Structure 1
Amino acid sequence: MSLEITLEGARVLRPEGWTDTPLSLAGGLVTDAVARRVDLSGHDVLPGIVDAHGDGFERHMAPRRGALRERDAGMLAVSSELAACGITTAVIAQFWSWEGGLRGPAFAQEVFESVALMRGSVAVDMRLQLRLETHYLEAFEAAEAAIDRFGIRYVVFNDHLPHDRLAEGRKPPRLTGQALKSRRNPDDYFRLLLDLHARGPEVAPALDALCRRLAAKGVTLGSHDDRTAATRAEWRGRGARVSEFPETEEAALAARASGDFTVLGAPNVVRGASHAGNASAQALIAAGLCDALASDYHYPSPARAAWRCVELGLLDEPAAWRLVSEGPARLLGLADRGALETGKRADLIVMEHGSRRIVATLAGGQVAWMTGPVAERFFA
């Protein structure tokens, strides 16, 4: 049930900046009609977070290697964690990869089915992203069928093959652990990698054809871990206008110069550096090379990263928050959310003004998360 209320006494982050004008909600939307008043003095109201890429759901669905998978119960727990972190729209980023295990097609089907089951029963809007490995050619047809079946509207392309080593016939580091993780014999796993690498000449034509078909269906396309301007140009030529987690400033600059969207990792901002030694998200934001911050592997990070940008003097508060709300909504083509404007979805979070602790999350006007004394204000 969506609430019909007017929030007053709080600072509200509108598109024009902070205001103390009351915010009214009805029918799941921001409205101009005044309804039952809720006093939120001492709090801030901000647009709900739109998370353009997150795989933190894995720990809920498969908490330990070899342990019983908690498919539907796990995804329900994911929705609760998302709401507690202020995320009202979440893109569940799932691999479709030769790597197997949690990255294989079988697990992907479980994830897609679970998200489909949750729709309509939880307030958070959970959407799907399929992350397709570029050299997994024999799985392209099945991946496209899954995209059609589950209505997936965001596909990103990855290439996790260690090509330099494979070109020399050398085993990559940590091969044994990766093989066992996917329940394969290490020698068989190495032969698989060599076979995938050898199919390199077939990859570009297959990708060109697949991208044309997906673009014709209105699917948003992106590339992952761009390193060079040439790589970004190659993906742009296929219609992939989103650059996820570019590894270098060169790639990020190329994306910006061509009007492509750039997604950076919020954990990178919080840590102050990439865990893999790539370009610092803080530096790229300072250079104006970021359109959206995504949770990546840690759902609490988007909110924390936005405030970190403010603390470091990289952006003011409205601009920093746009990186986790309006920016990602725009790149996903979701014009109905990302800002607290009349007629848009009533997706919002309530924060304690001093501590910045999230105490309530409303998605589509429905209570998705609420804790502490603020609940008494809503339901007094």
Structure 2
Amino acid sequence: MSIEVTLTGARVLRPTGWDDGFLGISGGRVVDETSGRLIDLSGYDVLPGIVDAHGDGFERHMAPRRGALRERDAGMVAVSAELAANGITTAILAQFWSWEGGLRGPDFAREVLESVRIMKDGVPIDMRLQLRLETHFLDELEAAEAAIDAHGVGYVVFNDHLPHDRLAQGRKPPRMTGQALKSRRSPEDYFKLLLDLHARGDEVGAVMDDLTKRLAAKGVTMGSHDDHTAQDRSVWRARGALVSEFPETLEAAQAARDAGDFIVLGAPNVVRGASHTGNASALELIAAGLCDALASDYHYPSPARAAWRCVELGLLDDAAAWRLVSDGPARVLGLQDRGQLQAGKRADLVVMEPETRRIVATIAQGQVAWMTGAVAERFI
């Protein structure tokens, strides 16, 4: 049930910057008049809820021990709680549909899709699906499209994780044995699979052209993952994939910006100060104005931490930094009803201790999703 309250005394981050005016919540929306009980939040900051455009941290809850324990529905409850504790009010759960198998295979994807369907109306956090399609997984793309249609998946991203250089030479990729075992295949069968997928490369372009045309007609947002060159971005842009997720180079990111495409970077990259794979530094791209949204990637605490890291380093002011985790990703996803604390928009917000920048309360669509410590006493 949505709360009917007016928050007073706090510093509130609105589209125009910080102010100390009241914030009304009614019917799950922000309102511009007082509503319900007055809650004194003096000493706290109130900011828009985080919109996470890409995160796969849910895997650790749904499969906490590989091969030994699966917790599908209970795991998704835990995911919702972790999201709320980290101020994420809208979460795009990024799930592979890949030849890699295991947690990246179609069977696990179906479990995730079904879990989100079951949980969708039972928790305040808005959890949505992104399906990450491996471009060379040609025999399974029809089934993937059927799953997209059946579950109303609104965001599809295209990947290619095949080690083409080594496969072209007939060489096994590094760490192949471990990867084969994760996918529950023998190393011999796994290597044959990789070679067979690589050999069908000439078919991929036409298949992608047709698939993206159908998805675009259904209104699906599309993106490409790990663009490396301007040409990579150009190819996917021509197909209607207008989001560049985690571009690997300055060249690719600049090409996206020059064409007006959206750029999503990994928040853990910002927190670390560098990419864990040796790709372009997110901090350098942000400094160059080449970022629209910061995503959790694999670590849900990172978006909030990354935003403040940008402030600490002098790259952005408070409002611009927080836009990278709220209004920015909302625009990437075409969600015009959230991302800002503005009358008429969803009441998605976080309450934060300004000194520690610790999130002490999260409200999603006017419902309390997370609350702890002294701030709870103010509401009670």
Report the TM range for the smaller structure's normalisation: over 0.9
Which residue in the other structure is 1:11 paired with? 11
- Residue 254 of structure 2 is aligned to residue 253 of structure 1: yes
Which residue in the other structure is 1:150 paired with? 151
Which string of whole-angstrom CA distances, capped at 9 and with x for unpartnered residues, describes residues 16-48 of structure 1? 000001100000000022121000011000000
Using the TM superposition, name which of 85-94 and 33-42 deviates more.
33-42
Which string of whole-angstrom CA distances, capped at 9 and with x for unpartnered residues, describes residues 24-77 of structure 1? 000000002212100001100000000000000000000111112000000110
Structure 1 unmatched ranges of 5 or more:
none
Report the Cα distance in structure 1 between the residues aligned to 2:84 and 2:162, rounded to whole angstroms.
Answer: 35
Code of the aligned partner of 2:138 = L
SS of match in other structure, 1:46: strand
TM-score, with length taken from structure 2: 0.99
Report the Cα distance in structure 2 between the residues aligned to 1:287 and 1:124, rounded to whole angstroms.
Answer: 33
SS of match in other structure, 2:47: strand
Report the Cα distance in structure 2 between the residues aligned to 1:117 and 1:263, rounded to whole angstroms.
Answer: 28
- Percentage identity across paired residues of the two chains: 77
Which residue in the other structure is 2:24 paired with? 24
Report the Cα distance in structure 1 between the residues aligned to 2:201 and 2:312, rounded to whole angstroms.
Answer: 45
Matching of residues 112-261 of structure 1 within 5 Å: 112-261=113-262
Which residue in the other structure is 2:305 paired with? 304
Deviation at 1:301, TM superposition (A): 0.1
Code of the aligned partner of 1:2 = S
Deviation at 1:354, TM superposition (A): 1.0
SS of match in other structure, 2:89: strand
Deviation at 1:165, TM superposition (A): 0.1
Report the Cα distance in structure 2 between the residues aligned to 1:257 and 1:69, rounded to whole angstroms.
Answer: 44
Which residue in the other structure is 2:106 paired with? 105
SS of match in other structure, 2:174: coil
- Matched residue pairs, number? 379
Deviation at 1:363, TM superposition (A): 0.2
Report the Cα distance in structure 1 between the residues aligned to 2:66 and 2:331, rounded to whole angstroms.
Answer: 37
Which residue in the other structure is 2:345 paired with? 344
- Residue 372 of structure 2 is aligned to residue 371 of structure 1: yes
SS of match in other structure, 2:24: strand
Which string of whole-angstrom CA distances, capped at 9 and with x for unpartnered residues, describes residues 318-343 of structure 1? 00000000000001000000000000
SS of match in other structure, 2:223: strand
Report the Cα distance in structure 1 between the residues aligned to 2:151 and 2:105, rounded to whole angstroms.
Answer: 17
Report the Cα distance in structure 1 between the residues aligned to 2:372 and 2:69, rounded to whole angstroms.
Answer: 31
Report the Cα distance in structure 2 between the residues aligned to 1:83 and 1:294, rounded to whole angstroms.
Answer: 15
Report the Cα distance in structure 2 between the residues aligned to 1:153 and 1:190, rounded to whole angstroms.
Answer: 33
Code of the aligned partner of 1:12 = V
Using the TM superposition, name which of 31-40 and 242-251 deviates more.
31-40
Report the Cα distance in structure 1 between the residues aligned to 2:366 and 2:105, rounded to whole angstroms.
Answer: 36
Report the Cα distance in structure 1 between the residues aligned to 2:68 and 2:86, rounded to whole angstroms.
Answer: 26
